[in-house]
Amino acid sequence: MLTIPLSAGCLVFGSKQVRGFFLSHWFATTSQDDIRRGLASAIALVENSVMVIPEGQPVPAHRAVHAAHLAEAADRGGKPLLVF
């Protein structure tokens, strides 16, 4: 697992943010049966529209800077997807 040191002061007094989550630790420490049940539960939530995954926003590669700004926006909807 990748560990990136980050002091609490950076989060409290600075402008650093921690976003997202990583499943690698969960997959490494969870039984196969629990993984199957968890994934089946998540898939069922999406299938029943209880949980909605926003569609990505295609952005032409020449507008990569704009895509980076979209990725940082709080209300961006789906992730920007660079189109080459």
**Could you tell me the pLDDT band of residue 33, with boundaries at 50, 70 and 90?**
very high
Which pLDDT score, from 0 to 100, does residue 26 have?
A: 87
For residue 14, name the pLDDT band (cuts at 50, 70, 90). Answer: confident
pTM for this entry: 0.51
Distance CA 26, CA 41 (A): 16
Rounded to an integer, the average pLDDT of 18-25 is: 74
pLDDT at 73: 81
Distance separating alpha carbons of residues 44 and 50, to the nearest angstrom: 8
